[in-house]
Amino acid sequence: MDHQNIQLLMNAVLQPQEAMFSWAGFYTGINYCNLILEQGAAMTTPGKEVDPSFTAAEFRSVDAEIKALRSLYYFYLVRSFRDVPFVTKAVRTDKQAIEERPATTPGVAILGQCIDELEKTVNFAPENYGNPGDNKGRFTRLGVHALMADMYLWRAGLLKNAVTKCKKYEIADGRINLTDVPNTNEDGSVASGYKTADGQAITDEYCNQLSTQCLQKAISHADYVLDYMMKEYKKNQKLDPTVTPEEENQPFPMYRNSKIGSSITDDVYNQIFVNQNSFESILELQYDGSNTKNGTANDYFHLYDGTHGAQILACSPNLLANASQVNPTLGWGKTDFRFLESCDYHTSSINKPITKFVQSSVSAMNAEDMTEKLGSLPHTTNTNNRHWPIYRLTDVMLIKAEAIARTGTTDVSQLKKGFQLVNEIFKRCNPKLVGTPEEASTNEDMYCDRVSDKYGIVEKDGKEQFTKKASDLLNLTYGERQIEFFAEGKRWFDLVRQAEFSNEVKTTLGTYSTTLKAAVIEKLKNNLWGMYNPIYSEELKVNGLEVGGKLVQNPIWDRYTKK
């Protein structure tokens, strides 16, 4: 993509003829998965084994891993296009591909099917492949649980008021499961609406009940990940004689930055983004810089040739506008290490280069004010070997926090857990902040209630009361996600997910977007389809309605189709 393509995207002009919207690579990957699953099952059929040393029992772990990979492909397609073709049989010839020409399947039903498959296979996924590269670069059992937590969260959003959304946006296929069937009249003719295979009418009330169940499942799978990682963390601590009391007693298995001295090294960034395959990593794409190259940082973020020039993308000024505060509602505060990790604040250029993935180390001369100039930034000589994170510890923590918030719970203990998940991430990135005015006696600017054990608690009539609500937790979570996962390709999908939950596109964009122009928000405000990609025009040439196929263009972007 060049600068013009990015500008068109930012102005909400999505042209279906642009190759960036091609899903061919994803379906190639899906087809490889289907081939492995079919061939593996055939090779290990009892009594018909091709290789006696490779049995059905041994194939189970391969089956679990490949189904997780296929689910990830479909998950990314659903997030980007909503409804897409769902293919689970291998396509072996061009003739077969041309003849089949599948229609789209509702994304909510695809996620439901993928989740059902993973629930059956997750316990067969390997826990350990024996080396860090495979443990972090392939789906382990831990990675499958992380994926399931994420998919349950998204399915919950797609289910929320699903019938109303179908009517509002003229979505013809209202299935929420692959097995759902249309309602019928007494004479057998098709009526409006759908029902499940066992006769349950699909209504908003029913969908919202399922949505709540999905949120609870997201929490459960996130808990599996957090509990497993904490056990491993405790094991490692027993082997480390240098472990500190803070590390020993912290509630989550996280790296910490030291508070000692004014100059502090950002150990968190260095472990996760420089050393890579860190303890906090769950799944990350592996690049070695030669056989496999990651050109994202150099092509889109920042030149690593010493000039520190911004590329096509730059840091939004809105994220830097409140740098004099310690706890802004938008962007990084002056004590937040992620301020230094993410961009070159002191460059003379108006467009601040994105430095995440490019810096070879991060440290602060004054951890009480990250805005102080450091001099030259240490940078890599090759970002082509930078891994790309898919899931890491803080992902799962914030997935759980968001799921708790979206249940709308009033249970104080649950809300406290949710706020703790978010605030512990903030706390570790702001090592100089303190949670009581007494601790900040020498510098009152360093006081922040978000690092306090009594966050959200006020005294009234001699009793402590927790004043925060689920809506507060959701807003805090979305603010933290924006700065924690900056430049990791997650923010737009946060907006899509919120639009699905709320069915309010304009409110979502106006509340949570920091870069969209008012004209763009006005353009997208009335239709959920505007949050999703157009179908690539080359796909419509072989499988569109006009050529006897089954694909229908996204109604918002059809106006930009070249006729």
Beta bridge partners of 267: none
Provide, rounded to the nearest whole percent, the portion of the chain with pLDDT above 90.
77
Q: How far apart are CA 281 and CA 357, in angstroms?
A: 15
Per-residue pLDDT tens for 393-415? 999 999 999 999 999 999 999 99
Segment among 57-71, 175-189, 207-221, 476-490 with least mean pLDDT: 175-189
| In contact, 341 and 493? CB cutoff 8 Å | no
Per-residue pLDDT tens for 50-70? 998 899 999 999 999 999 999
Q: Tell me what the pLDDT averaged over the chain comes to.
A: 93
Q: Of 17 and 348, which is predicted with more confidence?
A: 17
Tell me if residue 104 falls in helix, strand or coil: strand
Segment among 106-110, 246-250, 309-313, 329-333 with least mean pLDDT: 309-313
Length of the chain: 563
- Average pLDDT, stretch 284-294? 94
pLDDT of residue 303: 64
What confidence category does residue 302 fall into, taking pLDDT thresholds of 50, 70 and 90?
A: low
Which of 302, 303, 339 shows the shortest CA–CA distance to 319? 339
Give the Å distances, CA to CA, from 321 to 163, 191, 317, 324, 387: 41, 55, 6, 8, 30
Report the run of H or E that residue 523 belongs to, with start and end: helix 518-524
Segment among 164-178, 361-375, 549-563 with least mean pLDDT: 361-375
Which residue has tokens 């189709």? 561
Q: How far apart are CA 402 and CA 229, in angstroms?
A: 20
Q: How far apart are CA 336 and CA 323, in angstroms?
A: 9
Predicted confidence (pLDDT) at residue 451 exceeds the cutoff of 80: yes
| CA 212 and chain centroid, separation | 20
| In contact, 64 and 127? CB cutoff 8 Å | no
Q: How far apart are CA 289 and CA 377, in angstroms?
A: 22
Q: How far apart are CA 432 and CA 369, in angstroms?
A: 9
Pairing of strands 181-184, 190-195: antiparallel
Which of 300, 490, 312, 314 shows the shortest CA–CA distance to 389? 490
Q: Of 10 and 416, which is predicted with more confidence?
A: 416
pLDDT of residue 489: 95
Q: How far apart are CA 7 and CA 405, in angstroms?
A: 34
- Average pLDDT, stretch 337-343? 93
Predicted confidence (pLDDT) at residue 273 exceeds the cutoff of 90: yes
Concatenate the DSSP letters of all residues of 36-87 into one string. Answer: HHHHHHHHTSTT--SSTTS-HHHHHHHHHHHHHHHHHHHHHHHHHHSSEE--
What confidence category does residue 374 fall into, taking pLDDT thresholds of 50, 70 and 90?
A: low
Q: How far apart are CA 351 and CA 537, in angstroms?
A: 34
pLDDT of residue 382: 65
Q: How far apart are CA 208 and CA 214, in angstroms?
A: 10
- Average pLDDT, stretch 132-159? 99
Intra-chain end-to-end CA distance of the chain, in Å: 23
Give the Å distances, CA to CA, from 380 to 232, 345, 365: 31, 18, 20
Report the run of H or E that residue 543 belongs to, with start and end: helix 537-543
Predicted confidence (pLDDT) at residue 511 exceeds the cutoff of 80: yes
What confidence category does residue 378 fall into, taking pLDDT thresholds of 50, 70 and 90?
A: confident
Predicted confidence (pLDDT) at residue 188 exceeds the cutoff of 60: yes
Per-residue pLDDT tens for 23-52? 999 999 999 999 999 999 999 999 888 998
CB atoms within 10 A of CB 253: 20
Q: How far apart are CA 541 and CA 44, in angstroms?
A: 40
Report the run of H or E that residue 282 belongs to, with start and end: strand 281-285
What confidence category does residue 376 fall into, taking pLDDT thresholds of 50, 70 and 90?
A: low
Paired tokens of 412 = 């104080």
- Average pLDDT, stretch 85-101? 93
pLDDT of residue 194: 97
- Average pLDDT, stretch 431-443? 90
pLDDT of residue 346: 82
Which residue has tokens 């990314």? 76
| CA 470 and chain centroid, separation | 21
pLDDT of residue 381: 63
Tell me if residue 2 falls in helix, strand or coil: coil
Report the run of H or E that residue 190 belongs to, with start and end: strand 190-195
pLDDT of residue 57: 92
Contacts of 459 (CB under 8 A, 6+ apart): 465
Per-residue pLDDT tens for 381-390? 666 899 999 9
What confidence category does residue 261 fall into, taking pLDDT thresholds of 50, 70 and 90?
A: low
Q: How far apart are CA 97 and CA 244, in angstroms?
A: 59
Per-residue pLDDT tens for 513-522? 988 889 999 9
Domains of the chain are 29-233 (1.25.40), 394-529 (no CATH)
Give the Å distances, CA to CA, from 29 to 37, 171, 412, 536: 13, 28, 45, 18
| In contact, 160 and 211? CB cutoff 8 Å | yes
